[in-house]
Protein backbone atom coordinates (compact mmCIF):
# COMPACT_ATOMS: atom_id res chain seq x y z
CA UNK A 1 0.00 0.00 0.00
CA UNK A 2 1.29 3.45 -0.91
CA UNK A 3 1.25 6.31 1.61
CA UNK A 4 -1.30 8.96 0.68
CA UNK A 5 -1.24 11.01 3.89
CA UNK A 6 1.01 12.05 6.74
CA UNK A 7 0.24 13.28 10.25
CA UNK A 8 0.66 17.04 10.46
CA UNK A 9 2.50 16.99 13.78
CA UNK A 10 4.04 13.54 14.06
CA UNK A 11 4.76 12.64 10.44
CA UNK A 12 4.60 8.98 9.46
CA UNK A 13 3.06 7.20 6.50
CA UNK A 14 -0.66 6.58 6.26
CA UNK A 15 -2.98 5.35 3.56
CA UNK A 16 -6.62 6.39 3.38
CA UNK A 17 -8.61 3.14 3.14
CA UNK A 18 -12.20 4.33 2.99
CA UNK A 19 -14.67 6.96 4.05
CA UNK A 20 -18.00 5.86 5.46
CA UNK A 21 -20.92 6.83 7.63
CA UNK A 22 -21.04 5.33 11.09
CA UNK A 23 -23.73 2.98 12.40
CA UNK A 24 -24.91 2.10 15.90
CA UNK A 25 -23.52 4.54 18.51
CA UNK A 26 -21.70 6.37 15.71
CA UNK A 27 -24.89 6.73 13.66
CA UNK A 28 -24.60 9.53 11.13
CA UNK A 29 -20.94 10.34 11.91
CA UNK A 30 -18.60 10.74 8.95
CA UNK A 31 -15.75 8.29 9.54
CA UNK A 32 -12.39 7.62 7.93
CA UNK A 33 -10.65 4.24 7.95
CA UNK A 34 -6.89 4.56 7.55
CA UNK A 35 -3.88 2.29 7.55
CA UNK A 36 -0.80 3.23 9.56
CA UNK A 37 1.89 1.85 7.23
CA UNK A 38 4.75 2.21 9.72
CA UNK A 39 3.01 0.15 12.39
CA UNK A 40 0.85 -1.86 9.94
CA UNK A 41 -2.41 -1.31 11.80
CA UNK A 42 -5.78 -0.11 10.62
CA UNK A 43 -7.69 2.49 12.62
CA UNK A 44 -10.80 4.60 12.33
CA UNK A 45 -11.41 8.22 13.23
CA UNK A 46 -13.94 10.95 12.49
CA UNK A 47 -13.66 12.88 9.25
CA UNK A 48 -13.17 16.12 11.26
CA UNK A 49 -10.22 14.65 13.17
CA UNK A 50 -8.75 13.24 9.98
CA UNK A 51 -8.92 16.57 8.16
CA UNK A 52 -7.52 18.44 11.15
CA UNK A 53 -4.55 16.18 11.89
CA UNK A 54 -3.58 14.55 8.62
CA UNK A 55 -2.67 16.04 5.28
CA UNK A 56 -2.35 14.58 1.80
CA UNK A 57 1.17 13.92 0.56
CA UNK A 58 1.82 15.94 -2.59
CA UNK A 59 3.66 14.49 -5.58
CA UNK A 60 6.57 16.88 -4.93
CA UNK A 61 6.79 16.18 -1.19
CA UNK A 62 10.11 14.53 -0.35
CA UNK A 63 9.44 10.78 -0.02
CA UNK A 64 11.98 10.43 2.81
CA UNK A 65 10.82 13.17 5.19
CA UNK A 66 7.30 13.55 3.69
CA UNK A 67 7.64 17.31 3.53
CA UNK A 68 8.97 18.08 7.00
CA UNK A 69 12.50 18.80 5.73
CA UNK A 70 14.06 17.30 8.86
CA UNK A 71 16.16 14.18 9.26
CA UNK A 72 13.80 11.24 9.79
CA UNK A 73 16.34 8.44 9.48
CA UNK A 74 18.57 9.34 12.42
CA UNK A 75 15.61 11.05 14.06
CA UNK A 76 17.52 14.27 14.69
CA UNK A 77 15.05 17.02 13.99
CA UNK A 78 17.69 19.74 14.03
CA UNK A 79 19.36 18.16 10.99
CA UNK A 80 18.05 18.78 7.49
CA UNK A 81 16.73 15.80 5.53
CA UNK A 82 19.29 14.32 3.13
CA UNK A 83 16.67 13.52 0.49
CA UNK A 84 15.56 17.09 -0.13
CA UNK A 85 18.39 19.10 1.51
CA UNK A 86 15.94 20.34 4.12
CA UNK A 87 13.44 21.82 1.67
CA UNK A 88 10.72 19.23 2.28
CA UNK A 89 9.98 19.36 -1.43
CA UNK A 90 11.65 17.61 -4.37
CA UNK A 91 11.27 17.95 -8.16
CA UNK A 92 7.70 18.00 -9.45
CA UNK A 93 8.21 14.45 -10.78
CA UNK A 94 9.00 13.29 -7.23
CA UNK A 95 12.73 12.80 -7.93
CA UNK A 96 15.52 14.10 -5.69
CA UNK A 97 17.26 17.21 -7.12
CA UNK A 98 20.42 16.17 -8.96
CA UNK A 99 22.41 19.39 -8.69
CA UNK A 100 22.40 22.79 -7.06
CA UNK A 101 20.43 24.34 -9.91
CA UNK A 102 17.62 21.89 -9.36
CA UNK A 103 17.72 22.61 -5.62
CA UNK A 104 17.52 26.33 -6.43
CA UNK A 105 14.58 25.67 -8.72
CA UNK A 106 12.65 23.86 -5.97
CA UNK A 107 13.51 26.59 -3.44
CA UNK A 108 12.29 29.25 -5.88
CA UNK A 109 9.01 27.37 -6.32
CA UNK A 110 8.53 27.32 -2.53
CA UNK A 111 9.31 31.03 -2.24
CA UNK A 112 6.86 31.88 -5.04
CA UNK A 113 4.07 29.87 -3.41
CA UNK A 114 4.68 31.59 -0.08
CA UNK A 115 4.79 35.01 -1.70
CA UNK A 116 1.45 34.33 -3.36
CA UNK A 117 -0.01 33.30 -0.03
CA UNK A 118 1.43 36.41 1.62
CA UNK A 119 -0.10 38.69 -1.02
CA UNK A 120 -3.50 37.04 -0.52
CA UNK A 121 -3.26 37.44 3.25
CA UNK A 122 -2.22 41.07 3.01
CA UNK A 123 -5.18 41.72 0.73
CA UNK A 124 -7.49 40.02 3.22
CA UNK A 125 -5.97 41.97 6.13
CA UNK A 126 -6.49 45.23 4.25
CA UNK A 127 -10.25 44.70 4.18
CA UNK A 128 -11.97 46.89 6.78
CA UNK A 129 -14.33 44.05 7.77
CA UNK A 130 -11.38 41.78 8.61
CA UNK A 131 -9.61 44.51 10.60
CA UNK A 132 -12.78 45.21 12.58
CA UNK A 133 -13.33 41.52 13.27
CA UNK A 134 -9.77 41.13 14.55
CA UNK A 135 -10.07 44.24 16.71
CA UNK A 136 -13.36 43.00 18.15
CA UNK A 137 -11.83 39.59 18.90
CA UNK A 138 -8.90 41.25 20.69
CA UNK A 139 -11.20 43.39 22.81
CA UNK A 140 -13.33 40.37 23.62
CA UNK A 141 -10.17 38.49 24.67
CA UNK A 142 -9.19 41.35 27.01
CA UNK A 143 -12.66 41.50 28.53
CA UNK A 144 -12.57 37.74 29.12
CA UNK A 145 -9.19 38.04 30.86
CA UNK A 146 -10.42 40.84 33.13
CA UNK A 147 -13.58 38.88 33.97
CA UNK A 148 -11.52 35.80 34.75
CA UNK A 149 -9.08 37.70 36.97
CA UNK A 150 -11.97 39.31 38.80
CA UNK A 151 -13.74 36.00 39.45
CA UNK A 152 -10.42 34.44 40.58
CA UNK A 153 -10.00 37.32 43.02
CA UNK A 154 -13.56 36.97 44.30
CA UNK A 155 -13.18 33.22 44.76
CA UNK A 156 -9.77 33.43 46.38
CA UNK A 157 -9.63 32.97 50.17
CA UNK A 158 -10.10 36.15 52.09
CA UNK A 159 -12.49 37.71 49.62
CA UNK A 160 -16.19 37.60 49.12
CA UNK A 161 -18.86 36.37 51.51
CA UNK A 162 -17.36 34.43 54.41
CA UNK A 163 -13.88 35.71 53.74
CA UNK A 164 -12.02 37.31 56.57
CA UNK A 165 -11.27 40.50 54.68
CA UNK A 166 -14.83 40.91 53.45
CA UNK A 167 -15.72 44.51 54.16
CA UNK A 168 -19.17 44.63 52.63
CA UNK A 169 -20.90 45.46 55.97
ZN1 LIG B 1 13.23 15.35 2.75
88 Cα to the center of ligand 1, angstroms: 5
CA-based diameter of the chain, in Å?
82
Q: Tell me whether strands 54-56 and 5-7 are parallel, antiparallel or unpaired.
A: antiparallel
Q: How far is the CA of 90 from the centre of ligand 1 (A)?
A: 8
pLDDT recorded at residue 159: 63
Please give the C-alpha separations between residue 122 and each of 7, 112, 119, 130, 137, in angstroms, as whole numbers.
29, 15, 5, 11, 19
| pLDDT computed for residue 161 by the predictor | 54
Given a contact cutoff of 8 angstroms between Cβ atoms, the answer to whether 41 and 30 are in contact is no
- Rounded CA gap, 99 and 147, in Å? 59
pLDDT tens column, 34-90: 999 999 999 999 999 999 999 999 889 998 888 889 887 777 778 999 889 999 999
Rounded to 5 degrees, φ, ψ at 81 are -70, 140
Does residue 67 come out as left (phi exceeding 0), alpha (psi in the -120 to 50 range) or beta? Answer: left
pLDDT of residue 127: 93
Q: Lay out the sheet containing 30-36: strands in order across.
A: 41-46, 30-36, 11-21, 5-7, 54-56
The protein residues having their C-beta less than 5 angstroms from ligand 1 (an ion) are 62, 64-65, 81, 83-84
Angstrom distance (rounded) from CA 4 to CA 56: 6
Mean residue pLDDT across the chain: 87
Amino acid sequence: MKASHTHRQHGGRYALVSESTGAGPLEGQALVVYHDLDRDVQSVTTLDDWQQHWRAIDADDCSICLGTGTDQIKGNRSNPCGGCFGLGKVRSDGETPADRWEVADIALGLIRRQQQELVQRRQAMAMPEVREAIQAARERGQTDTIARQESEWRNSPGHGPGGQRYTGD
